[in-house]
Amino acid sequence: MTIYLQNPTFIDRQSCKVIKKNIKVTQGYEGKIEFIEKMPEQNQLAAEDKIINCADKIVTKSFGCGHHHIYSALARGMGAPKKIPENFKEILKYVWWTLDKCLDLDMIKASALATAIFCAKNGVTFVIDHHASPFAVKDSLFTIAEAFDKVGVSHLLCYELSDRDGEKSKQEALQEHKNYFNSGKQGNVGLHASFTVGDDLLKQAVLLAEKFNTGIHIHVAEDKTDQEDCLKDYGIRVVERLHKFGALNLHRTLLSHCIHLDEKEKKLIKNSGVWVAQNIESNQNNNVGLADYGAITDNVMLGTDGMHSDMLRSAKVAFFAGQSIEQPGMDTIYNRFRNIHNYMEKSGFKGDGANNLVILDYNSPTEVTSDNFLGHFIFGIEASHVQSVISNGKLIVEDKRVTTVNEAEILSYAREQGLKLWNKMNCGG
Ligand SMILES: [Zn+2]
């Protein structure tokens, strides 16, 4: 199947240059886009080919999420935990670790399908997810992958390896990574965070990542207690510990948060060239502090930390909330928003080629030009403008409706699984 986009205003994602030419989009991981002067005649089209009229529409590269948690999808509207958390560790203990221990494969499937739908409708065609379900580890990554594939959203998954849930759960999580990679699927090796990962597990995780030619994906210094525990238990700071075990030698490594770093750690990250994911709304929600990412590295990408699937929203918050701490320019935030594509390209992962596009019905009161696109990006363009989405050359959202799955059925299934989860957690809605 080939999709032809007629008369679009195309914005090149790197240069922000406006190109007004028809576009031919071919399917598959190797698929690409081609600018064409003349549209094909009706009799030159194959039966399954499609022409989309893009007059007055903006077409650009679709979006990616650098740090997501599908496991939080069924938490929306959930009742209060048995104790109102007073600090970050209590948020984990009473909310997220209570929730993830109750997840079963059906709930994981519902969470992943719902997340993939929200991503697709927000123009997000690539997701890097960090998953935990300590009592439903086996097949969890395969379940998430299948759900994302069904909707048509590409992915880079991992499981949060940790010593927090005992030996059995840990062994299952190591095995799940091995099974997943051996089946030919791409992913990272996940670790929860330094303070729940002992030296032996950290060593095993790095060896696994080396063996399967990937990187580590871990929460780093999200709260200052991560550093305090590391200094107390190992006499060094979190990034130094990761460096000591070789995690920073892997150029696909992704460190999420990085709020509480000292100068030595910042230098280690910058010199190693590993990647950092910024999740500012989550940091505000957990009141763990905000970071000056510009002082760490240029390799910063944006994530949502499972709070939602709207990357345009994440970019706006990074810009506005960032003003109080690092005064980022619009170009800085745009680069962070787009850095996931550079991470994918440099890492050699698939699913983020040029044939991933979003069609925006953007009713601007002012001209959109190469020079002012960033102003539209920060102050104008929102997820509500996403009209259609092309993922690997396939139309997965058409006129705001997901074409690949039945959204109403899936959300009804998710609500059912959500109630089941809340009952199990003993925390009604
Ligand atoms: Zn996270």
Give mean pLDDT, residues 177-205: 98
Residue 5's pLDDT is 98
Q: Are 229 and 194 in contact (CB under 8 A)?
A: yes
d(CA 180, CA 105): 16
Specify burial of residue 184 (Cβ count, 10 A radius: 0-12, 13-18, 19+): exposed
Shared domain check, 263 and 140: yes
Whats the size of the chain, residue-wise?
429
52 CA → ligand 1 middle, Å: 37
Shared domain check, 129 and 37: no
Specify burial of residue 291 (Cβ count, 10 A radius: 0-12, 13-18, 19+): buried
34 CA → ligand 1 middle, Å: 37
Residue 42's pLDDT is 87
321 CA → ligand 1 middle, Å: 19
Q: Are 383 and 317 in contact (CB under 8 A)?
A: no
Q: What is the pLDDT of residues 37-50, one digit of tens each?
A: 999 998 999 999 99
162 CA → ligand 1 middle, Å: 14
272 CA → ligand 1 middle, Å: 22
Q: Answer yes or no: is 420 within a domain.
A: no
Shared domain check, 271 and 257: yes
User: Is the model's pLDDT at 158 over the cut of 90?
Assistant: yes
Shared domain check, 381 and 312: no
Q: How many CB atoms lie within 10 A of CB 290?
A: 16
Shared domain check, 296 and 169: yes
Residue 340's pLDDT is 98
pLDDT category at 428 given cuts 50, 70, 90 is low
257 CA → ligand 1 middle, Å: 8
Q: What is the 3-state secondary structure (H, E, C) of 34-82?
A: EEECCCCCHHHCCCCCEEEECCCCEEEECEEEEEECHHHHHHCCCCCCC
Shared domain check, 299 and 256: yes
Q: Answer yes or no: is 413 within a domain.
A: no
9 CA → ligand 1 middle, Å: 36
Joined tokens for residue 289: 């502090």
19 CA → ligand 1 middle, Å: 37
Joined tokens for residue 365: 């009161």
Shared domain check, 125 and 52: no
Residues 6 or more apart from 38 whose CB is under 8 A from it? 22
User: What's the one-letter identity of residue 237?
Assistant: R
Q: Are 62 and 11 in contact (CB under 8 A)?
A: no
Give mean pLDDT, residues 382-408: 98
Q: Answer yes or no: is 297 within a domain.
A: yes
Shared domain check, 328 and 186: yes
Q: Answer yes or no: is 99 within a domain.
A: yes
131 CA → ligand 1 middle, Å: 9
Q: Tell me which H or E stretch contains 423.
A: helix 407-425
Q: Are 193 and 222 in contact (CB under 8 A)?
A: yes
Q: What is the pLDDT of residues 18-44, one digit of tens each?
A: 999 999 999 999 899 999 999 999 899
User: Is the model's pLDDT at 62 over the cut of 60?
Assistant: yes
Whole-model pTM? Answer: 0.97
Shared domain check, 68 and 50: no
150 CA → ligand 1 middle, Å: 24
Residue 82's pLDDT is 87
Q: What is the mean pLDDT of the chain?
A: 97
> Running DSSP on this structure, what letter comes out for residue 260?
S
* Strand ranges in 84-147 using DSSP code E only, listed in sequence order: 124-129
Answer with the one of 331, 347, 363 that is the final residue of a domain: 347
Residue 129's pLDDT is 98
Query: What is the DSSP pairing of strand 357-360 with strand 300-302?
Result: unpaired
Q: H helices of 259-372, where? A: 263-272, 280-286, 311-322, 330-347
160 CA → ligand 1 middle, Å: 10
Residue 174's pLDDT is 98
Maximum C-alpha span of the chain: 73
Q: What is the pLDDT of residues 237-278, one digit of tens each?
A: 999 999 999 999 999 999 999 999 999 999 999 999 999 999
User: What's the one-letter identity of residue 85?
Assistant: P
d(CA 223, CA 290): 10
Q: What is the pLDDT of residues 89-118, one digit of tens each?
A: 999 999 999 999 999 999 999 999 999 999
Q: Answer yes or no: is 24 within a domain.
A: yes
Q: What is the pLDDT of residues 271-318, one digit of tens each?
A: 999 999 999 999 999 999 999 999 999 999 999 999 999 999 999 999
Answer with the one of 347, 381, 415 that is the final residue of a domain: 347
304 CA → ligand 1 middle, Å: 8
18 CA → ligand 1 middle, Å: 35
Q: Is 21 helix (H, G, I), strand (E, B) or coil?
A: coil
419 CA → ligand 1 middle, Å: 24
Total tally of structural domains belonging to the chain:
2
Joined tokens for residue 391: 């993922």
For tokens 């918050």, the residue is 317
d(CA 111, CA 239): 31
Shared domain check, 30 and 93: no
240 CA → ligand 1 middle, Å: 20
CATH number of the structural domain spanning residue 124: 3.20.20.140
306 CA → ligand 1 middle, Å: 7
Q: How many CB atoms lie within 10 A of CB 36?
A: 14
Give mean pLDDT, residues 347-375: 97
Q: Are 166 and 195 in contact (CB under 8 A)?
A: no
126 CA → ligand 1 middle, Å: 16
Shared domain check, 322 and 268: yes
129 CA → ligand 1 middle, Å: 9
Please give the C-alpha separations between residue 181 and each of 141, 156, 282, in angstroms, as whole numbers: 10, 11, 30
416 CA → ligand 1 middle, Å: 25
Shared domain check, 141 and 112: yes
Range of the domain at 249: 63-347
Phi–psi pair at 81, nearest 5 degrees: -70, 170
Answer with the one of 302, 327, 347 that is the final residue of a domain: 347
Sheet with 50-53, strands from edge to edge, namely: 33-36, 22-26, 2-6, 50-53
Please give the C-alpha separations between residue 321 and each of 281, 307, 419, in angstroms, as whole numbers: 9, 16, 34
68 CA → ligand 1 middle, Å: 6
User: Is the model's pLDDT at 181 over the cut of 70?
Assistant: yes
Does residue 401 come out as left (phi exceeding 0), alpha (psi in the -120 to 50 range) or beta?
Answer: beta
Q: Answer yes or no: is 201 within a domain.
A: yes
CATH number of the structural domain spanning residue 389: 2.30.40.10
Q: Answer yes or no: is 323 within a domain.
A: yes
